[in-house]
A and B are shown apart, each in its own frame.
Chain A
Amino acid sequence: MNMDTLLEVRNLRKAFSVTSGPLEGKKLRLQAVDGLSFTLAKGETLGVVGESGCGKSTAAKLLMRLFDADEGEALYQGVDLLKLSRRQLRPYRRKIQMVFQDPFSSLNPRMRVGNIIGEALIIHKLAPAGKIRSKVVDLLGTVGLSEEYYDRFPHEFSGGQRQRIGIARALAVQPELIIADEPVSALDVSIQAQIVNLLQDIQDEFGLTYIFISHDLSVIEHISDRVAVMYLGKIVETASSGDLYGRPHHPYTEALLNALPVPRPGATKNRRILTGEVPSPLAPPSGCHFHPRCPYVRDICRTESPLLEEKAAGHLAACHFSREVGRHRASLAKESRKT
C-alpha cells in the first residue's frame, strides 16, 4: 500500500430493505451502495458527484459508521474501520469528521452554539472544563464567527452561519479527514462560495483531507484534486479533476458536463443532453446500469456490466466503449477555443 494513502475503500456495499406498500408487505432490496471502491491520498480532496439518490450520502454514512455496511472494507491507514467495535472506533471518531448537508437539521435546536461545539471537546476530553470556552471561541474565530454568538441558539442564525458552526464542530476534535456531504447544496449561491473558500482555507491551515460530496459539478471542479462520478451506487469514472473535465471516458460524465451551463450564446446547439429518468435502484437495469440512457449503447451493454478499468494514466472508467466517449466534447472544446 502506498505510504500516502489515508483511506482505501474496497467493494463497499449496502442494501436497504424496503416494503413495497403498507398492505402488500413485499420486501424489496434497494442496493444503495453497490461495490464502491476508491483510494484517498493524504491531503487531497476527492470530489464525489452524482444525481440525488445515487448513494453518495449513504456511502458517507457508511464510512462514518452511522450505518452498518453489508460488505466491504474501509482501511484507514491500514485499519479496517468497518470491523472495529464501538470502543475501538472511538479514537477514529476524532480523526474522521463529517459536515452535513442541511444546516437546519444538523444543529440541535435546544443547544446553545457554545455547547454544540464544546460538546466535541467534552466527549473526547480535549480540554479541562475551564478552558472549553476559550477553545470554542478560537474555533468560532477560525470559521469566521465572533464570540458574541457563543450563547445563541441555532435558530438565530442564517444557513451559511449555521454551516460555519457545523464546520467548527467538526474541527473541534482536530480531525485528519472531513467528509463533507453536500455542504453547500442548501445554501444560496453567494453563500456557497464563502463556505467553499472557508473549507479550502482550513484545509490549508490544518492539512486536512476531504471527501467532498456534491451534485454540483462546478463546485466539485473548483475544490477537488480528484473526482469520482457515481451512478446508482457505483463509481463509473474517476480521474484527476483536470483529466475528467477535459476528456470524460464515461457517457454519464459526458452528459453531466454537457448539462453545465456554458456562458456562450448558441452553445447549446451541439450538446448531447441526458434524457430519461434515473432508473429505480429497486430494479436496476441489466448489464451496464446506464444503458437505457446512453447514447453509445450497443447490445453488449444490455447484458454485460463493464468493470472500472484504467483507460488512461490514472483515469478509470466503467464503460465498454469509453474510447468513443468524450471525443465529441473534445471537439466542442476545440471549437470554443477557436472562437
Chain B
Amino acid sequence: MNTLDMTQIASSGRAGLWGQIRNNHLALAGAGIVLLMFLFALLAPFTGKDPAAIDISQRLISPCLSYPLGTDDLGRDVFTRILYGARISLLVGFVSVGIATIIGVILGALAGFYGLWVDSIIMRFVDIMLCFPTFFLILAVIAFLEPSIWNIMIIIGLTGWMGVARLVRAEFLSLRERDFVYAAQALGAFDMRIIFRHILPNALSPVLVAATLGVAGAILTESALSFLGIGVQPPTPSWGNMLIVGKQTLGSAWWLSVFPGLAILLTVLGYNLLGEGIRDALDPRLNR
C-alpha cells in the first residue's frame, strides 16, 4: 500500500509537471505569453521594416493599416521596434538570470554542503549583498561603466544571485543528510561528484521557479534602467527607452507609451504566472 502510493506519487511527479501546468489556466496563460514573446523576437525581421530607419515625413502617425501601432517622433515603426525590443528583453532576462543562477547555485552549494565556516562566510556575504538597495547599486556602478547592454546584463546578474544561493543552500542542507548521499560517501565518491551528480540534480526544482520569476524581475529592471537613459542605448530599441519618447508625447501620441508599456506588463505577468504555476506543480503539498 505504502509502496504503491510512493511509486504513484513519484511517477506523477516526473511525468506530471507539464500535466499539472496544463490544468492550471493561469500558468497556461503565462506559458502562452512567454511563448508569444519568443515568437515575436524570432519573427521581428519579417515585418519588412528597419527598426532604426528614420523617416521624418512619417513621424507620429497614429495606428493605421501600414503602421499597426503607429510611428514615433522620428517616423520609426513602433510595431517593428517592439518586436526587436522583445529580443533585448529576452536576452537581458535570460543572460542576467543565467549569471545570477550560476553564481547562486555554486555559492549556495558550497555553503550548504560544507557548512561550518564556509557556510558562515558565504551567508554573511549574502546578507551584506542584500543590504544594498539593488537598484541604486546598479545606478552607481553604471555611472562608472559605459551603459551597454552587456554591462547591464552582468550587473543585474551580479546583484540578483542571493535568493538563489539561499534556496540552494537550504536544499543542500536537507539533501546532504539523505541516505543516498551517505551511500555515495561510503563508496568514497569525491565531493564534486556528490555535489554535482547526487545533490544538485535533486535541488534544482526551486531554482527553476526562482529563475522563471527572476526573468520577470530582470526584464523590469532593464526597462527601468533604459527608461532612465542608462540602460540600452538608442538607436537600439528596447521597451524601456521607447517609453522615454512616449513620456514626452504622452498628451499627443498615446500609442508611444501604451504599447511598449503593455509589452512590459504582459511579459512580466507571463513569467510570473508561469513561475508560480511551476511552483505549484512542484509542490507536493498542493497536489490535488
Residue A106 at the chain B interface, CB threshold 8 Å: yes
In chain B, what residue has the closest Cβ to A105?
A: B179
> What's the minimum C-beta distance from A190 to chain B, rounded to whole angstroms?
12
A108 cross-chain contacts in B, Cβ below 8 A = 180, 184, 197-198, 201-202
Interface string of A95-135 (1 = CB under 8 A from B): 01110111011111111000000011001100000000000
Number of A-B contacts (CB under 8 A): 77
* CB neighbours of B188 from chain A (8 A): 89-90, 93-94, 123-124
List which B166-187 residues lie within 8 A (CB) of chain A: 178-180, 182-187
Given A106-B179, A109-B10, decide whether A159 and B187 contact each other with a Cβ distance below 8 A: no
**8 A Cβ contacts from A63-96 to B:** 64, 66, 89-90, 93-94, 96
Nearest to A98 among chain B residues (CB) is B186
Closest chain A CB from B5 CB (angstroms): 11
Query: Does more than half of chain B's interface fall in helix, strand or loop, or is it mixed?
Result: helix
Give how many A residues have a beta carbon under 8 Å from the other chain's beta carbons. 35
Cβ < 8 Å to B, chain A residues 133-186: 153, 155-159, 166, 169, 173
CB of B25 within 8 A of chain A? no
Judge whether B39 is part of the interface by a CB distance below 8 angstroms. Answer: no
Give the distance in Å from the alpha carbon of A108 to the alpha carbon of B180 in the complex: 6
Q: How far is the CA of A219 from the CA of B273 in the complex (A)?
A: 54
Q: Is A272 on the interface with B (CB-CB < 8 A)?
A: no
Residues in chain A near residue B7, CB distance under 8 A: 155-158
Find out whether the CB atom of B201 lies under 8 angstroms from the CB atom of A110: yes
| Contact A100–B14 (Cβ < 8 Å) | no
- A98 vs B183: C-alpha distance in the bound complex, in angstroms? 7
Count chain B residues whose beta carbon lies closer than 8 angstroms to a beta carbon of A: 24
Known: A109-B10, A155-B7, A159-B3. A123 touches B179 (CB 8 A): no
What residues of chain A lie closer than 8 Å to B6, measured between beta carbons?
Answer: 104, 155
Q: How far is the CA of A110 from the CA of B171 in the complex (A)?
A: 15
- Write out the residue numbers on chain A whose beta carbons fall within 8 Å of the beta carbon of B190: 123
Please tell me if the beta carbons of A61 and B197 are within 8 angstroms of each other in the complex: no
> Which among A64, A107, A123, A157 is the interface contact of B193 at CB below 8 angstroms?
A123
Task: Identify which of B14, B188, B193, B202 gathers the most chain A CB atoms within 10 Å of its CB.
Answer: B188
Who on chain B is nearest to A158 by CB? B3
Kindly provide the distance from the CB of B122 to the nearest chain A CB, expressed in whole angstroms: 22
Expressed in whole angstroms, the minimum distance between the Cβ of A154 and any Cβ of chain B is 8
CB distance from B21 to the nearest CB of A (A): 20
Q: Are B187 and A66 in contact (CB under 8 A)?
A: no
Residues of A within 8 A of B185 (CB): 64, 66
Neighbouring A residues of B57 by C-beta, 8 Å = none
Docked pose: A107 CA to B231 CA in angstroms: 48
The listed residue (B183, B187, B202) touching A106 by CB distance below 8 A is B183
* Residues on the B chain within 8 Å of A110, using CB: 201-202
Interface residues of B (CB under 8 A from A): 2-3, 6-7, 10-11, 14, 178-180, 182-190, 193, 197-198, 201-202
Q: List 16 A-B contacts (CB under 8 A).
A: A66-B185, A90-B188, A93-B186, A93-B188, A100-B182, A105-B179, A106-B179, A108-B197, A108-B198, A109-B10, A110-B202, A119-B197, A124-B187, A155-B7, A156-B7, A159-B2
Instruction: A64-B185, A188-B3 are known; give 7 further A-B pairs, CB within 8 A.
Output: A66-B185, A107-B183, A108-B201, A109-B180, A111-B197, A153-B14, A159-B3
